[in-house]
Structure 1
């Protein structure tokens, strides 16, 4: 099962700045329900695709939705930058 959606790229500053794709509320709700058995510490393991780049990561919950971390290699390959609207597909991994 997979989800395709479009969302904004946002920056979340921690010890280092990271870029995330903010997953829309409806898809976040669906992912939360589908991943009940897979989630750990609120994170959900997924395989994500942006453009031609497929990568593994884990979704982070924030403010009632999930954030998809966009790896630096994906940012470079797909010219992803803060403020852009980006389409992605995610599917659950494990289980």
Structure 2
């Protein structure tokens, strides 16, 4: 399963013990699609990836990268971290509505 998931989501800031992170949170249909991909991966390979994550190819604007999305709340939400490099390249800041796409790989 490698269906592209597109969404426009707010860029959020989260302050952790080791620093500040920027992220977007997939919910609803997008989260269900990511959870289904994780379940299919577990069935096919007999195990989950680290922290239940799903590898994805991500794109915001013209910037593309490979990363992982991580489940929250029993896979009803999935978190995509957005690096400073991507934020600089796309002139993003906290609170911006970000049009993005992820493709599970």
TM over 0.5: yes
Interval of TM-score (by shorter of Structure 1 and Structure 2):
0.7 to 0.9
Q: How many residues are aligned here?
A: 93
Q: 2: CA distance between counterparts of 1:82 and 1:66?
A: 18
Contact 2:37 2:54 survives alignment (8 Å): no
**How far did residue 62 of structure 1 move?**
2.6
Q: Give the unaligned 5+ runs of structure 2.
A: 43-47
Compute the TM-score of the two structures, normalised by the length of structure 2: 0.80
- Say if 1:87 and 1:24 are closer, same or farther in 2 by CA, change over 3 A: farther
Q: Give the unaligned 5+ runs of structure 1.
A: none
Deviations 1:27-85 (A, max 9, x none): 01111112321652221111100000000111122343111111111100101111111
Q: 2: CA distance between counterparts of 1:5 and 1:18?
A: 20
Matched, 1:50 2:60: yes
Structure with the largest fraction of helix: 2
Q: Which has the larger radius of gyration?
A: 2
